[in-house]
Amino acid sequence: MNKKNLFFLLAIFITIFFLWWFFIKPNQTVSQEKTTSQVNSQKKEEINFLIEGFPSEQVPLYKSTKVSSNKIFINTDPLNTSAFDEENFAYYNVVFYSSASQEEFLDYYRGFFESQIEEEFPIENMIKGKIGQYKVSAAHYGVDQTAYLQVHLPNYDDEGLDRYFLDLPNLLPVNPILVEHERSYGLLNQKGGEVEFTQYFTVLDSGDQNQDGLDDVDEFALLEKEYQVKFGNETAYSYDEKTGLMKWQSGDFSVTLSISRDHGRLYLMMRKPLVN
Protein backbone atom coordinates (compact mmCIF):
# COMPACT_ATOMS: atom_id res chain seq x y z
CA MET A 1 0.00 0.00 0.00
CA ASN A 2 1.59 3.34 -1.05
CA LYS A 3 1.76 6.34 1.24
CA LYS A 4 -0.97 8.16 -0.66
CA ASN A 5 -3.52 5.42 0.01
CA LEU A 6 -2.37 5.07 3.60
CA PHE A 7 -2.87 8.77 4.30
CA PHE A 8 -6.26 8.60 2.55
CA LEU A 9 -7.47 5.72 4.78
CA LEU A 10 -6.11 7.44 7.86
CA ALA A 11 -8.01 10.60 6.96
CA ILE A 12 -11.24 8.63 6.57
CA PHE A 13 -10.71 6.94 9.96
CA ILE A 14 -10.06 10.29 11.66
CA THR A 15 -13.17 11.75 10.03
CA ILE A 16 -15.33 8.82 11.18
CA PHE A 17 -13.92 9.04 14.72
CA PHE A 18 -14.56 12.80 14.73
CA LEU A 19 -18.18 12.30 13.66
CA TRP A 20 -18.74 9.54 16.24
CA TRP A 21 -17.17 11.48 19.11
CA PHE A 22 -18.91 14.79 18.53
CA PHE A 23 -22.28 13.71 17.12
CA ILE A 24 -23.19 10.05 17.64
CA LYS A 25 -21.72 9.52 21.16
CA PRO A 26 -23.49 12.56 22.70
CA ASN A 27 -26.81 11.34 21.27
CA GLN A 28 -26.20 7.87 22.73
CA THR A 29 -25.44 9.45 26.11
CA VAL A 30 -28.58 11.59 25.97
CA SER A 31 -30.60 8.52 24.99
CA GLN A 32 -29.13 6.52 27.88
CA GLU A 33 -29.77 9.37 30.30
CA LYS A 34 -33.33 9.67 28.98
CA THR A 35 -33.93 5.95 29.44
CA THR A 36 -32.50 6.08 32.97
CA SER A 37 -34.64 9.10 33.71
CA GLN A 38 -37.76 7.32 32.46
CA VAL A 39 -37.03 4.27 34.63
CA ASN A 40 -36.39 6.46 37.66
CA SER A 41 -39.57 8.39 36.89
CA GLN A 42 -41.58 5.18 36.78
CA LYS A 43 -40.12 4.05 40.11
CA LYS A 44 -40.72 7.48 41.59
CA GLU A 45 -44.30 7.45 40.30
CA GLU A 46 -45.18 4.29 42.19
CA ILE A 47 -43.45 5.45 45.38
CA ASN A 48 -45.16 8.82 45.27
CA PHE A 49 -48.62 7.31 44.86
CA LEU A 50 -48.26 5.04 47.86
CA ILE A 51 -48.93 7.21 50.88
CA GLU A 52 -46.35 7.31 53.64
CA GLY A 53 -47.02 4.54 56.11
CA PHE A 54 -48.55 2.04 53.74
CA PRO A 55 -46.96 -1.33 54.70
CA SER A 56 -45.74 -2.28 51.23
CA GLU A 57 -42.98 -4.52 52.61
CA GLN A 58 -45.44 -6.61 54.59
CA VAL A 59 -48.22 -6.40 51.98
CA PRO A 60 -46.61 -6.11 48.52
CA LEU A 61 -48.49 -5.07 45.41
CA TYR A 62 -48.12 -8.18 43.30
CA LYS A 63 -46.69 -7.46 39.84
CA SER A 64 -47.75 -3.83 40.06
CA THR A 65 -47.23 -1.77 36.91
CA LYS A 66 -48.94 1.40 38.10
CA VAL A 67 -50.68 2.66 41.25
CA SER A 68 -53.98 4.34 40.44
CA SER A 69 -54.83 5.52 43.97
CA ASN A 70 -53.93 4.92 47.59
CA LYS A 71 -56.08 6.15 50.47
CA ILE A 72 -56.49 5.77 54.21
CA PHE A 73 -60.07 5.63 55.53
CA ILE A 74 -61.26 6.03 59.12
CA ASN A 75 -64.91 5.09 59.68
CA THR A 76 -66.93 5.38 62.87
CA ASP A 77 -70.44 5.11 61.44
CA PRO A 78 -72.39 2.65 63.63
CA LEU A 79 -74.43 1.67 60.55
CA ASN A 80 -71.30 0.54 58.70
CA THR A 81 -69.23 -2.56 59.23
CA SER A 82 -65.91 -3.33 57.61
CA ALA A 83 -65.11 -6.06 55.10
CA PHE A 84 -64.35 -8.12 58.22
CA ASP A 85 -67.68 -7.31 59.94
CA GLU A 86 -66.11 -4.93 62.43
CA GLU A 87 -67.40 -1.56 63.63
CA ASN A 88 -65.11 1.45 63.94
CA PHE A 89 -62.29 0.63 61.55
CA ALA A 90 -59.40 2.12 59.59
CA TYR A 91 -57.87 0.75 56.44
CA TYR A 92 -55.59 1.50 53.51
CA ASN A 93 -57.18 1.06 50.10
CA VAL A 94 -55.02 0.60 47.01
CA VAL A 95 -56.17 0.44 43.41
CA PHE A 96 -53.39 -0.61 41.05
CA TYR A 97 -52.68 -2.31 37.75
CA SER A 98 -51.09 -5.76 37.90
CA SER A 99 -49.53 -7.67 35.03
CA ALA A 100 -50.67 -10.90 36.70
CA SER A 101 -53.76 -12.69 35.48
CA GLN A 102 -56.76 -12.86 37.78
CA GLU A 103 -56.02 -16.48 38.72
CA GLU A 104 -52.32 -15.81 39.30
CA PHE A 105 -53.09 -12.71 41.36
CA LEU A 106 -55.54 -14.45 43.69
CA ASP A 107 -53.31 -17.52 43.99
CA TYR A 108 -50.40 -15.33 45.00
CA TYR A 109 -52.22 -13.74 47.94
CA ARG A 110 -53.84 -17.04 48.88
CA GLY A 111 -50.35 -18.45 49.29
CA PHE A 112 -48.93 -15.25 50.82
CA PHE A 113 -51.46 -14.99 53.65
CA GLU A 114 -50.25 -16.34 56.97
CA SER A 115 -53.79 -17.60 57.42
CA GLN A 116 -56.83 -17.31 55.19
CA ILE A 117 -60.16 -16.03 56.49
CA GLU A 118 -62.98 -18.27 55.34
CA GLU A 119 -66.48 -16.82 55.09
CA GLU A 120 -69.90 -18.41 55.05
CA PHE A 121 -70.85 -16.30 52.04
CA PRO A 122 -67.58 -15.49 50.25
CA ILE A 123 -67.39 -12.71 47.68
CA GLU A 124 -66.48 -14.00 44.25
CA ASN A 125 -63.05 -12.91 43.00
CA MET A 126 -61.99 -11.73 46.47
CA ILE A 127 -59.94 -13.50 49.12
CA LYS A 128 -59.24 -12.46 52.70
CA GLY A 129 -56.52 -13.32 55.14
CA LYS A 130 -54.09 -12.16 57.80
CA ILE A 131 -50.55 -10.84 57.33
CA GLY A 132 -48.91 -9.96 60.62
CA GLN A 133 -51.07 -7.42 62.43
CA TYR A 134 -53.14 -6.67 59.33
CA LYS A 135 -56.34 -8.15 57.97
CA VAL A 136 -56.16 -7.98 54.18
CA SER A 137 -58.60 -8.40 51.32
CA ALA A 138 -57.35 -8.84 47.75
CA ALA A 139 -59.66 -8.61 44.75
CA HIS A 140 -59.32 -8.96 41.00
CA TYR A 141 -62.46 -9.07 38.87
CA GLY A 142 -60.84 -10.15 35.63
CA VAL A 143 -62.29 -7.31 33.56
CA ASP A 144 -58.90 -5.69 32.99
CA GLN A 145 -55.62 -5.50 34.89
CA THR A 146 -57.09 -3.54 37.79
CA ALA A 147 -56.46 -5.03 41.23
CA TYR A 148 -57.59 -3.99 44.69
CA LEU A 149 -56.12 -4.32 48.17
CA GLN A 150 -57.58 -3.33 51.52
CA VAL A 151 -55.21 -3.44 54.47
CA HIS A 152 -57.08 -3.05 57.75
CA LEU A 153 -55.25 -1.62 60.73
CA PRO A 154 -55.57 -3.22 64.17
CA ASN A 155 -56.55 0.07 65.83
CA TYR A 156 -58.82 2.64 64.16
CA ASP A 157 -58.07 5.39 66.71
CA ASP A 158 -54.29 5.07 66.61
CA GLU A 159 -52.89 8.56 67.20
CA GLY A 160 -50.43 7.94 64.37
CA LEU A 161 -53.29 8.29 61.90
CA ASP A 162 -53.66 11.97 62.82
CA ARG A 163 -50.64 12.80 60.63
CA TYR A 164 -52.67 12.19 57.48
CA PHE A 165 -55.13 14.94 58.34
CA LEU A 166 -52.87 17.75 59.48
CA ASP A 167 -53.61 19.62 56.23
CA LEU A 168 -57.32 18.76 56.14
CA PRO A 169 -59.17 22.02 55.43
CA ASN A 170 -61.71 22.87 58.13
CA LEU A 171 -64.39 24.11 55.77
CA LEU A 172 -67.69 23.30 57.47
CA PRO A 173 -68.50 25.29 60.61
CA VAL A 174 -69.27 23.37 63.79
CA ASN A 175 -72.94 22.49 63.83
CA PRO A 176 -74.74 20.39 66.47
CA ILE A 177 -76.87 18.65 63.84
CA LEU A 178 -73.81 17.31 61.99
CA VAL A 179 -71.87 14.24 63.10
CA GLU A 180 -68.73 13.23 61.22
CA HIS A 181 -68.53 9.49 60.56
CA GLU A 182 -65.78 9.05 57.99
CA ARG A 183 -62.72 10.82 56.71
CA SER A 184 -60.09 9.84 54.19
CA TYR A 185 -56.79 11.05 52.80
CA GLY A 186 -55.24 9.82 49.60
CA LEU A 187 -53.10 10.28 46.52
CA LEU A 188 -54.68 9.98 43.07
CA ASN A 189 -52.66 9.17 39.96
CA GLN A 190 -54.60 11.45 37.62
CA LYS A 191 -54.29 14.96 36.22
CA GLY A 192 -50.58 14.83 36.99
CA GLY A 193 -51.30 13.68 40.55
CA GLU A 194 -53.79 14.93 43.12
CA VAL A 195 -54.17 15.01 46.89
CA GLU A 196 -57.67 14.19 48.08
CA PHE A 197 -59.47 14.59 51.39
CA THR A 198 -63.02 13.37 51.96
CA GLN A 199 -65.44 13.51 54.86
CA TYR A 200 -69.03 12.52 55.34
CA PHE A 201 -71.44 13.64 58.02
CA THR A 202 -74.84 12.39 59.10
CA VAL A 203 -77.56 14.97 59.69
CA LEU A 204 -79.46 14.60 62.96
CA ASP A 205 -83.20 14.90 62.52
CA SER A 206 -85.02 16.57 65.42
CA GLY A 207 -88.19 14.77 64.33
CA ASP A 208 -91.69 15.58 65.53
CA GLN A 209 -91.11 16.76 69.07
CA ASN A 210 -94.49 18.46 69.48
CA GLN A 211 -96.27 15.38 68.12
CA ASP A 212 -98.39 17.23 65.60
CA GLY A 213 -97.62 14.72 62.87
CA LEU A 214 -95.19 17.06 61.09
CA ASP A 215 -91.43 17.27 61.06
CA ASP A 216 -90.53 20.25 63.23
CA VAL A 217 -87.41 21.36 61.34
CA ASP A 218 -86.10 20.81 57.81
CA GLU A 219 -82.44 20.44 58.77
CA PHE A 220 -81.28 20.09 55.17
CA ALA A 221 -82.99 23.35 54.16
CA LEU A 222 -81.21 25.11 57.03
CA LEU A 223 -77.85 23.71 55.98
CA GLU A 224 -78.40 24.59 52.31
CA LYS A 225 -79.18 28.18 53.22
CA GLU A 226 -76.24 28.41 55.64
CA TYR A 227 -73.75 27.09 53.06
CA GLN A 228 -75.12 29.21 50.23
CA VAL A 229 -74.44 32.28 52.35
CA LYS A 230 -71.04 31.06 53.57
CA PHE A 231 -69.63 29.87 50.25
CA GLY A 232 -71.69 31.84 47.73
CA ASN A 233 -68.93 34.39 47.15
CA GLU A 234 -66.13 31.85 46.79
CA THR A 235 -64.27 31.45 43.49
CA ALA A 236 -66.05 29.24 40.93
CA TYR A 237 -69.06 28.78 43.24
CA SER A 238 -72.05 26.88 41.88
CA TYR A 239 -75.02 25.03 43.33
CA ASP A 240 -77.41 22.65 41.62
CA GLU A 241 -80.61 22.36 43.66
CA LYS A 242 -81.72 19.22 41.81
CA THR A 243 -78.58 17.22 42.54
CA GLY A 244 -77.63 18.94 45.79
CA LEU A 245 -74.08 19.53 44.51
CA MET A 246 -72.31 22.66 45.68
CA LYS A 247 -68.87 23.46 44.24
CA TRP A 248 -66.26 26.14 44.79
CA GLN A 249 -62.54 26.81 44.94
CA SER A 250 -60.85 27.22 48.32
CA GLY A 251 -57.18 28.12 47.91
CA ASP A 252 -55.55 25.23 46.03
CA PHE A 253 -58.50 22.95 46.70
CA SER A 254 -61.39 22.23 44.37
CA VAL A 255 -64.30 21.51 46.70
CA THR A 256 -67.48 19.50 46.12
CA LEU A 257 -70.16 19.33 48.79
CA SER A 258 -73.00 16.88 48.19
CA ILE A 259 -76.13 17.58 50.26
CA SER A 260 -77.81 14.19 50.10
CA ARG A 261 -81.28 14.09 51.60
CA ASP A 262 -81.83 10.50 50.45
CA HIS A 263 -78.84 9.29 52.46
CA GLY A 264 -79.32 11.71 55.33
CA ARG A 265 -75.71 12.77 54.84
CA LEU A 266 -73.36 15.47 53.66
CA TYR A 267 -70.39 14.36 51.56
CA LEU A 268 -67.39 16.66 51.28
CA MET A 269 -64.55 16.11 48.79
CA MET A 270 -61.48 18.33 48.48
CA ARG A 271 -58.78 17.88 45.83
CA LYS A 272 -55.67 19.81 44.93
CA PRO A 273 -52.67 19.21 42.64
CA LEU A 274 -49.98 17.01 44.14
CA VAL A 275 -47.34 19.42 42.84
CA ASN A 276 -48.17 23.09 42.39
Amino acid type, 245: L
The predicted-structure confidence for 162-178, as pLDDT tens digits, reads as follows 999 999 999 998 888 99
Task: Confirm if 73 and 93 have CB atoms less than 8 A apart.
Answer: yes
What is the rounded CA–CA span in Å between residue 106 and residue 100?
9
Mean residue pLDDT across the chain: 84
**How far is C-alpha 29 from the geometric centre of its chain's CA atoms?**
37
Tell me, yes or no, whether 184 and 257 share the same domain. Answer: yes
Q: Based on the domain organization, do 184 and 132 belong to the same domain?
A: no
**Lowest-confidence region among 32-36, 91-95, 145-149, 166-170:** 32-36
% residues pLDDT > 90 (the chain)? 68
Whether 89 and 69 have beta carbons less than 8 Å apart is answered as no
- Domain final residue, candidates 157, 181, 212: 157
Is the pLDDT at 181 greater than 80, yes or no? yes
Model's pTM, two decimal places?
Answer: 0.80
Instruction: Please give the DSSP secondary-structure letter assigned to residue 122.
Output: P
CB 61 within 8 A of CB 96: yes
Indicate whether 124 and 190 sit together in one domain.
no
Residues paired with residue 254 on neighbouring β-strands, in sequence order: 249, 271
Tens digit of pLDDT for each residue in 77-136? 999 999 999 999 999 999 999 999 999 999 999 999 999 998 878 888 999 999 999 999
Of 157, 189, 206, the position where a domain reaches its end is 157
Domain shared by 172 and 245, yes or no: yes
Q: Is residue 16 part of a domain?
A: no
Query: How far is C-alpha 26 from the chain's CA centre?
Result: 41
pLDDT at 233 over 60: yes
**Do the Cβ atoms of 182 and 266 come closer than 8 Å?**
no
Whether pLDDT at 145 is above 70: yes
Q: Per mean pLDDT, which range of 41-45, 64-68, 123-127 is the poorest?
A: 41-45
Instruction: Give the pLDDT confidence score for residue 70 in this predicted structure.
Output: 98
**CB-based contacts of 70: which residues, under 8 Å, 6+ apart?**
49, 50, 51, 54, 92, 93, 94, 95, 186, 187
d(CA 87, CA 124): 23
Would you say 214 and 232 are in contact if contact means Cβ atoms under 8 Å apart? no
Domain that holds residue 68: 64-157
Mean pLDDT, rounded, for 188-195: 94
Quote the number of domains for the chain.
2
Does 13 score more than 70 pLDDT?
Answer: no
127, 157, 187 — which closes off a domain?
157
Would residue 49 count as lying in a domain?
no
Give yes or no: residues 135 and 216 share one domain. no
In what order do the strands lie in the sheet containing 178-188?
A: 115-116, 126-131, 134-140, 146-152, 89-98, 64-75, 178-188, 194-203, 265-273, 253-260, 245-250, 235-240
- 112 and 186 co-located in one domain: no
Element (DSSP H or E) covering residue 151: strand 146-152
Residue 195 has pLDDT above 90, yes or no: yes
